[in-house]
Amino acid sequence: MSSVNGNQEESPTRDSTAGAILDSSVGSHADTLLKRMQHFVDNQQLCDVVLIAGIDGKRVSAHRLVLSASSEYLLAMFAGSLRESKEHEVTLGEVHGDALQLLVQHCYTGSIELHEDTVKTLLATAKMLQLTSVVTACCNFLARRLHTSNCLGFAFLAEQYSCTELLRMAQAYTCRHFMKVWHDQQFFQLNANQLGKLLSSDELHVKTEEDVFHTMMSWVRHDAPTREQYIPELLAKVRLPLLQPLFLVDHVENVCNASNECQQLLFEAFKWHSLPPERRSLIAATELTKPRKHICCGLLAVGGTERHNSNVTTIESYCPHLKKWTTWKQAIKNRIYYGAAIKNNKLIVLGGYNGRQVLNSVESLDLNTMACVPLNPMGTARCNVSVAVLSVYLYAVGGNGDDGSILRTVERWNPITRTWSYLSSMCTGRVLELRCWAFTFMLLADP
């Protein structure tokens, strides 16, 4: 007895208890059979079924045995008691002819060529026919092409066809690049439910919770007459207690006027802010008071004096997660011995000395946009001034005056009226130069 493995003839093997046993490659034998079957289907020989695409009527001849061995869906159709098991022509609804033909060819060859303009149609048809290997190949193809312009669409496609891994990858990509994704047109095509799921994610890469509120309102304003009804539902996904009180007053309060649900959310946010920090630490964190995973605390080092008494104008930030210091492009120019504080994620720099005189000018550096703008000047020029933030106010305490005197005066900045006002002076003049503050920033994950 002999067999053919490729084009070479093999010798039989024997043992003491059996006759001749065929020793041939199973893979080679299967390949030969499939090639013969493919030859038959290409020449319309021995075909016992014609599949008809329901969308365009394209007809594809095939063998029930090959189709049933490849597709659980077609196996159930042909081997069961369904009407199609006895019919020569079977129509498959909602199927494109070109996709059907490619998938039938795959049943014979085990391979398929994927292209960007056809992969979505192939995925849909392969999912229906339960061709698992093709579904996996399509998902991998799409995953390698994830981009800010298509990640939301791919996530929707993956959810529609229950492609779990592609859905996970598309959602992770969307969250990681959220600040770019929300500027794309596909973002504004989301429905309220899809947007709500996205805004609920702990994984959103945002610099502050303000970004989440602004993206939500951009979506609403894109079609305000239709979408304003969803504001209560979506505002509940924004972590309002994490927004600064002034931001709540300036931006959120007006949005809440027309809805009792929104007003209640706003009330809870203000209630949270009214609690002393020590009380907040005793209250279990909820979804609305827990920061997103990629917003973390860091340290900011601003200016100072080096060992040889030369002045430092640079700003450096420290990320405790990465354990790394980063030097910023921005610098504090034309002033030394100034005071500074972080307020509403803005670095406020005030007073100082420019080499000729003590200053009363004030600058605000937005840590989100890196835009620097002047604020109204203080009433008194100060250097070596101590600065503190309490509630919505900024305080400038003591320091050295233009004549070198140690000041007892205290000024308070009101961000609502944008004015400085004097408070009661201290009993003793003081000078303090502590320049280390907490602030928030976005922790960038690897792409």
Per-residue pLDDT averaged across 277-289, rounded?
69
Q: Is the pLDDT of residue 139 over 60?
A: yes
DSSP annotation of 25 reads -
DSSP annotation of 187 reads G
Question: What is the reported pLDDT for 7?
Answer: 43
Predicted TM-score (pTM) of this structure: 0.64
Q: Is the pLDDT of residue 437 over 50?
A: no
Give the pLDDT confidence of 19-66 residue by residue, as tens digits. 555 455 556 777 777 777 777 777 677 778 899 998 999 999 898 888
What percentage of the chain carries pLDDT values higher than 90? 50
Question: What is the reported pLDDT for 181?
Answer: 95
Q: Band of the pLDDT at 16, cuts 50, 70, 90?
A: very low
Q: Band of the pLDDT at 422, cuts 50, 70, 90?
A: very high
Per-residue pLDDT averaged across 281-303, rounded?
72
Q: In order of start, what are the domains of the chain with their CATH numbers?
A: 190-280 (1.25.40.420), 296-442 (2.120.10.80)
* DSSP output for 151-180: HHHHHHHHHHTT-HHHHHHHHHHHHHTHHH
Question: What is the reported pLDDT for 430?
Answer: 84
Q: Is the pLDDT of residue 177 over 50?
A: yes
- Residue 324 and residue 318 in contact, taking contact as beta carbons nearer than 8 Å: yes
Q: Band of the pLDDT at 371, cuts 50, 70, 90?
A: confident
As a whole number of angstroms, the distance between CA 52 and CA 391 comes to 71
- Residue 324 and residue 338 in contact, taking contact as beta carbons nearer than 8 Å: no
As a whole number of angstroms, the distance between CA 437 and CA 32 comes to 74
Give the pLDDT confidence of 179-211 residue by residue, as tens digits. 999 999 999 999 999 999 999 999 998 888 999
b/e per residue, 102-135, with b = 16+ CB within 10 A?
Answer: bbbbbbbeeebeeeeeebbbbbbbbbbbebeebb
Question: 301: closest CA among 441, 432, 439, 443?
Answer: 439
